Structure 1
């Protein structure tokens, strides 16, 4: 069993060497709608059987994510290569088959920096209706493909990994990319991670979470939660040029994996395109994804991340109310 160790370098050194200058952008690795759609088509295919926690389909999805991590040159950062194993409880009461083996899938882009940005998205869904909270009146036996929830977020995770590993820059922060398991059972993967983190939680610059970013509605726009979790977020957002409409919300807690980090006093951002009639239904399929809009959302995230990397480690602010 091994644990990745992230090297520490003085923040002063980064400032003296110009480490916090504006980063160049490589057009060749900008978010690509075709690649996004390909990821979602694979992760939300019927053969994945809804990616239920502990299922063969979720294991297939984990192997796919690991292959992409290797392709983008991310170092294994789990306790078993890319995997961080844990046991997920499927039901509130322990009965036969209620405990499932689960794995967070963790890859590191190590820039030998003192602090780390965590990028997260959950890759599990509701399987064939026996776990989680399906909205179907008779869910069992129906494959819940979870294209928006949350193959879309995983596609965003992988596109950010592709960009930051391939843009030709050595960034002033490390990146830890985490595909969380068992989110649908109560944020179990992210809760396990923050209690058994592979790096000191206090060394996290901020956590960015993507959950359901594939069904952009131009009337609503993309919601960005967590705006109130650091006093620096307003200045980070000042100069972003968005190709999509967006709005912010202060709340740092909520029903997705960023909430586990907020509970540990880590500044967070949460990207979400909103609910729709296919939410937690067997009809949440890949052909309903707006990949072009998702590419613009990810481009917005890149701008925000790059602005945040011009700053020292973000201070945490508790959101009142």
Structure 2
């Protein structure tokens, strides 16, 4: 009981103070901020961030507050999610941020950066915190957004940041977005998705699918490995398994980035103690480098379908 009370107090403190600390966007991705975000998102008191719950809405408010504090909040997109277990319908949201590019023409070309924030809830008395799946990706979205905002003056293209709801129920948040886009869908030139980026292994492998869906993608993603101290495992296709699929199915170039499977996947042991936070900082700097290489350049961006 005492540990549960302490956990609740920690959750409340993090919820109150975390967004306040981001009034000024920082130019570096830090381990401490990353840890703070994941400690909130994967806290026992959030009961696994299941769609339709009070705790799920607390996450939505946290994300909105963080985007607002960084001056990038754009929209809260409400939708109805049909749950796998009992086929019931619940209300949940996509949380959207926007950072405008500076080029008069290219600012109308959008790069989407996304991650889902929901997880599996509570099953048979066990809390499925989903620290890697996908508190790691949600925290990554917040940290990358903050760094991009701090360097907004460098952008040519614009960045749309989306925290998707109800991914675990069948990619529902991303499916809703592409069917009800808040911007013209044909303006989106690339979608970068981060799902489970907190388990960088000893070989520093970062895995991705979809690098062949835009010109020069394979070469770009490979070339950024050494400067960021990671070893990319780059696939031209292999587009499956997470929210980027919804975009690919609409003829949009994608990158689905992760650090691989592990024994804690979809288990109650997927907790922050089992993450490699130092490794995730490397992964985030790698993703940021790729994002900025595209967003600050005039390189051609077009969709290239893959088998």
Question: Which band: TM-score by shorter chain?
Answer: 0.7 to 0.9
Of 249, 261, 277, 1:291 maps to 277
How far is the alpha carbon of 1:168 from its aligned partner? 5.3
1:62-93: CA deviations, max 9, x gaps? 111111101111032x2xxxx10111000377
Taking the aligned partners of 1:53 and 1:28, their CA distance within structure 2 comes to 31
Q: Aligned with 1:169: secondary structure? A: helix
**Residue equivalent to 1:246:** 232
| Alignment map for 1:179-198 (pairs within 5 Å) | 179-198=163-182
**Residue equivalent to 1:17:** none
Of 78, 84, 89, 1:85 maps to 78
How far is the alpha carbon of 1:218 from its aligned partner? 2.3
Aligned residues: 276
- Does structure 2 retain, via aligned residues, the 8 Å contact 1:232–1:315? no
Pairwise CA RMSD of aligned residues?
1.8
Q: Comparing both structures, which one devotes a greater share of its residues to helix?
A: 2
Cα distance, 1:266–1:87 mapped onto 2, change above 3 Å: same
**Residue equivalent to 1:145:** 129
- Does structure 1 retain, via aligned residues, the 8 Å contact 2:193–2:256? yes
5+ long unaligned stretches in structure 2: 1-24
Residue 159 of structure 2 is aligned to residue 172 of structure 1: no
Residue 218 of structure 2 is aligned to residue 224 of structure 1: no
Taking the aligned partners of 1:28 and 1:154, their CA distance within structure 2 comes to 17
How far is the alpha carbon of 1:109 from its aligned partner? 1.2
Q: Aligned with 2:127: secondary structure? A: coil
How far is the alpha carbon of 1:271 from its aligned partner? 1.0
- Does structure 2 retain, via aligned residues, the 8 Å contact 1:227–1:252? no
Cα distance, 1:272–1:62 mapped onto 2, change above 3 Å: same
**Residue equivalent to 1:75:** 73
Of 71, 79, 98, 1:108 maps to 98
Taking the aligned partners of 1:274 and 1:293, their CA distance within structure 2 comes to 13
Taking the aligned partners of 1:39 and 1:45, their CA distance within structure 2 comes to 10
Taking the aligned partners of 2:112 and 2:277, their CA distance within structure 1 comes to 23
How far is the alpha carbon of 1:253 from its aligned partner? 2.7
- Does structure 2 retain, via aligned residues, the 8 Å contact 1:236–1:308? no
Taking the aligned partners of 1:205 and 1:218, their CA distance within structure 2 comes to 33
**Residue equivalent to 1:210:** 194
Taking the aligned partners of 2:66 and 2:195, their CA distance within structure 1 comes to 19
How far is the alpha carbon of 1:220 from its aligned partner? 6.4
Cα distance, 1:86–1:252 mapped onto 2, change above 3 Å: farther
TM-score by length of structure 1 reads 0.82
Q: Structure 1: which 4+ aligned runs deviate by more than 4 Å? A: none
**Residue equivalent to 1:256:** 242
How far is the alpha carbon of 1:219 from its aligned partner? 3.0
- Does structure 2 retain, via aligned residues, the 8 Å contact 1:117–1:207? yes
TM-score by length of structure 2 reads 0.85
Taking the aligned partners of 1:295 and 1:66, their CA distance within structure 2 comes to 23
Cα distance, 1:251–1:188 mapped onto 2, change above 3 Å: same
5+ long unaligned stretches in structure 1: 1-26, 130-139
Cα distance, 1:72–1:127 mapped onto 2, change above 3 Å: same
